[in-house]
A = this chain, B = another copy of it.
Amino acid sequence: RQIAILPGDYIGPEIMGAGLKILAAAAKITGFDYETTTYPFGGSAIDATGEPLPASTLAGAQAADAILLAAIGGPKWDNAPQRPEQGLLAIRKALHLFANIRPTQVNPALVERSPLKTEIARDTDFVIVRELTSGIYFGEPRFLHDDEALDTMRYQRSEIERIIKAGFELAMQRRKHVTIVDKANVLATSKLWRKIANEIAPQYPAVTMDFEYVDAAAMKIVTHPTSFDVIVTENLFGDILSDEAATVTGSLGTIPSESRGVSGPSLYEPIHGSAPDIAGKGIADPLSMIHSITLMLRNSFQETATADLIEQAATATLHAGIMTPDLGGTATTDSMTDAIITEIQ
């Protein structure tokens, strides 16, 4: 198993290093066999090669069985001719990573860190399935003139069909409830989403489907987060709602996501950014990277034993009160990593 490693910028390399040390320790025990190759990506790739997604990085990622990305971007490249984020959009498009799967699960041990009242946040467990390679992120035409600018939200039927099916498939493994989030009272693209969802739903008679306008969904995520199971939505709405949803957990520094393609490798990454403010201080939370790795082990390699071993060790470490400052602890990235490795061994 070939894993492409994209450490990225600022805290990216710090948490990637921690995650890979833990993976190595666990794999040694379970006998999970893998190889890694590291590639420049994002801001550091701009510095090294002038481009956020060098051709060699894309080729390496394409040839791998899975891709691990830490985090990219930062103020350093705000005025660069190319921006790190363009690399992210480019790799999504090039690898056809059309489905971004973002779990929002409140960890009972961390529920009091949620900005929501405990009784509202408790038991929250839903997944946002965000369309990732179309919509207003990629639609043409687009232009920026001095007196006018334009973006295009465009969706093909086939793009909508595959993401809605991915949502229903996921719901079949969960509580069988799909919520399609759109703005069908205003947008033509949303009307097409609704039409196609209504066509697909009968193929999954066990699944309950409902529709929610994006503004209403933005409310409900705060007021009734437990009312969702699987949310399926278009690219821009998914961007906004999945970040909003992540705050409900109170532990942004612990959440992974998967971006899944039609075929080919999936990309796993923390949902948070590169956190320039804490970079170099050695206090970044490694849990989001660790969970990205266990998600990869389960979904790309069916390597349950190694994933379980890592997760149990991470949970035990948390229960022992060893955690980084974002979770209220005093551990460093290194001391937490070492504690998890000791637990694994």
Please measure, in the bound complex, the distance between the C-alpha atom of A185 and the C-alpha atom of B89, giving whole angstroms: 10
A236 touches B183 (CB 8 A): yes
CB closest residue in chain B, given A155: B149
Q: Which one, B151, B214, B223, B239, contacts A215 given CB within 8 A?
A: B239
CB of A288 to closest CB in B, whole Å: 15
Chain A 228-268 interface residues, beta-carbon cutoff 8 Å to B? 236-237, 239-244, 246-248, 252
B136 touches A85 (CB 8 A): no
Chain A 43-81 interface residues, beta-carbon cutoff 8 Å to B? none
Q: Contacting chain B: which of A114-122, A202-210, A314-322? A: A114-122
B150 touches A186 (CB 8 A): no
Given A115-B117, A183-B236, A186-B85, check contact A147 B156 (CB 8 Å): yes
Dominant SS among interface residues on chain A: helix
Please measure, in the bound complex, the distance between the C-alpha atom of A165 and the C-alpha atom of B114, giving whole angstroms: 36
Q: Contacting chain B: which of A10-18, A187-195, A305-313? A: A187-195
Chain B residues positioned under 8 Å from A191 (CB to CB): 144, 149
Please measure, in the bound complex, the distance between the C-alpha atom of A120 and the C-alpha atom of B120, giving whole angstroms: 15
Q: Which one, B116, B154, B239, contacts A150 given CB within 8 A?
A: B154
Proximity string of chain A (140-154) to chain B, C-beta cutoff 8 Å, 1 when within and 0 when not = 001110111111111
Given A218-B240, A222-B222, check contact A192 B149 (CB 8 Å): yes
A186 touches B115 (CB 8 A): no
- Asked if A139 lies at the interface with its beta carbon under 8 angstroms from chain B, I say yes
CB closest residue in chain B, given A185: B85
Given A148-B156, A189-B150, check contact A223 B247 (CB 8 Å): yes
Chain B residues positioned under 8 Å from A187 (CB to CB): 136, 142, 151
Chain B residues positioned under 8 Å from A214 (CB to CB): 239-240
A222 touches B240 (CB 8 A): no
CB of A287 to closest CB in B, whole Å: 18
Please measure, in the bound complex, the distance between the C-alpha atom of A18 and the C-alpha atom of B218, giving whole angstroms: 29
- Asked if A157 lies at the interface with its beta carbon under 8 angstroms from chain B, I say yes
- Asked if A137 lies at the interface with its beta carbon under 8 angstroms from chain B, I say yes
A188 touches B155 (CB 8 A): no
- Asked if A83 lies at the interface with its beta carbon under 8 angstroms from chain B, I say yes
- Asked if A219 lies at the interface with its beta carbon under 8 angstroms from chain B, I say yes
A243 touches B223 (CB 8 A): no
Please measure, in the bound complex, the distance between the C-alpha atom of A223 and the C-alpha atom of B58, giving whole angstroms: 36
- Asked if A200 lies at the interface with its beta carbon under 8 angstroms from chain B, I say no
Please measure, in the bound complex, the distance between the C-alpha atom of A246 and the C-alpha atom of B215, giving whole angstroms: 11
Chain B residues positioned under 8 Å from A252 (CB to CB): 219
CB of A164 to closest CB in B, whole Å: 14
Chain A 94-124 interface residues, beta-carbon cutoff 8 Å to B? 114-117, 120
Please measure, in the bound complex, the distance between the C-alpha atom of A189 and the C-alpha atom of B151, giving whole angstroms: 6
A-B interface, 9 closest residue pairs, ranked by CB to CB distance from nearest: A149-B192, A218-B244, A215-B243, A144-B188, A147-B157, A149-B189, A151-B153, A149-B188, A222-B247
- 25 A-B pairs, CB-CB below 8 angstroms? A83-B185, A115-B117, A136-B153, A143-B188, A144-B192, A146-B157, A147-B156, A147-B157, A148-B155, A148-B192, A149-B154, A150-B152, A150-B153, A150-B155, A152-B153, A183-B236, A215-B243, A216-B243, A218-B240, A218-B244, A219-B244, A219-B247, A221-B244, A223-B247, A240-B240
